[in-house]
Structure 1
Amino acid sequence: MASRRDLHQEEVRFRILRLLNDDPELSTRQIADAVGISNGSAYYCINALMKKGLIKLGNFRASEQKGRYAYVLTPRGIREKTVLTAKFLERKLAEYEALKAEIAALEDEVGAAVPARRVGRG
């Protein structure tokens, strides 16, 4: 069983890889804001992903600012993103099922006192 810290780190990696897959030209500050981590943490995570060979730093020549770079997912990074996506989806589906069960139990507990407004039950 993974610890909360491991799950959090895995989720941060997943979100960074997903963001970079969609927009390789994001800055570390934009990544940090989107993921909800500090700029230093984003920089650290990106460097760790580069050391693992999941992303590489590419210079995009079309830019007028020649110092700008893009973080490009490598084939290994794409595979890792797929694995992390499956794990993330599995974890979120389990959370969803647990919430549905908790909602059903609470509805049973309060009975008819709750208005009959149900959203997305199924």
Structure 2
Amino acid sequence: MAGVLKKIDPDVHFRVLHLLEEEPSLTQRELAEKLGISLGGVNYCLKSLIDIGHIKAENFKKNPDKSIYLYLLTPKGIAEKAHLTSGFLKRKMAEYHALKKEIDSIQSKSKGA
């Protein structure tokens, strides 16, 4: 199982769990659009997350289209999302600080020109 998880980008993993927690009825196509990744990538990610127990897929019982699913976070998935949130925020803060430093450097050089 852990081998599967290593192949999922941690930012994508976090974002999938975050989106599904907010909107469990999102389709794979909608997820792909929101994440900016391919439909095949979303399908692979969802299958992997189901395999490792972070989400479960359930059919809408009253919908005649049985291909419509709810993707629900499991308790293990909720715990993993909390863990991933911390790493996601640290990476984004590091990116922010690096960009801010670069912008400040460019601005100071352009003022001197």
**Paired residues, what number?**
107
Give, in angstroms, the shift of residue 59 of structure 1. Answer: 2.9
Report sequence identity in percent. 43
Aligned to 1:97, what secondary structure does the other structure show? helix
Seen in structure 2, the aligned counterparts of structure 1 residues 7 and 58 have a Cα distance that, compared at 3 Å, is closer
Give, in angstroms, the shift of residue 58 of structure 1. Answer: 2.1
Gaps of 5+ in 1: 1-5, 114-122
Aligned-CA RMSD value: 2.0
TM score, norm. by length of structure 1: 0.77
* Aligned amino acid, residue 70 of structure 1: L
Question: 2:63 aligned with 1:64, yes or no?
Answer: yes
Aligned to 2:25: 25
Higher relative contact order (CA 8 A, sep 6+): 2
Seen in structure 2, the aligned counterparts of structure 1 residues 7 and 97 have a Cα distance that, compared at 3 Å, is farther
Give, in angstroms, the shift of residue 112 of structure 1. Answer: 5.7
Seen in structure 2, the aligned counterparts of structure 1 residues 60 and 76 have a Cα distance that, compared at 3 Å, is same
Task: Note the 1:1-122 alignment, pairs <5 A.
Answer: 9-61=9-61, 63-65=62-64, 67=66, 68-111=68-111
Larger CA Rg, structure 1 vs 2: 1
Structure 1: 4+ residue segments shifted above 6 A: none
Seen in structure 2, the aligned counterparts of structure 1 residues 7 and 50 have a Cα distance that, compared at 3 Å, is closer
Aligned to 2:3: none
Give, in angstroms, the shift of residue 25 of structure 1. Answer: 0.7
Gaps of 5+ in 2: 1-5
TM score, norm. by length of structure 2: 0.83
Seen in structure 2, the aligned counterparts of structure 1 residues 102 and 29 have a Cα distance that, compared at 3 Å, is same
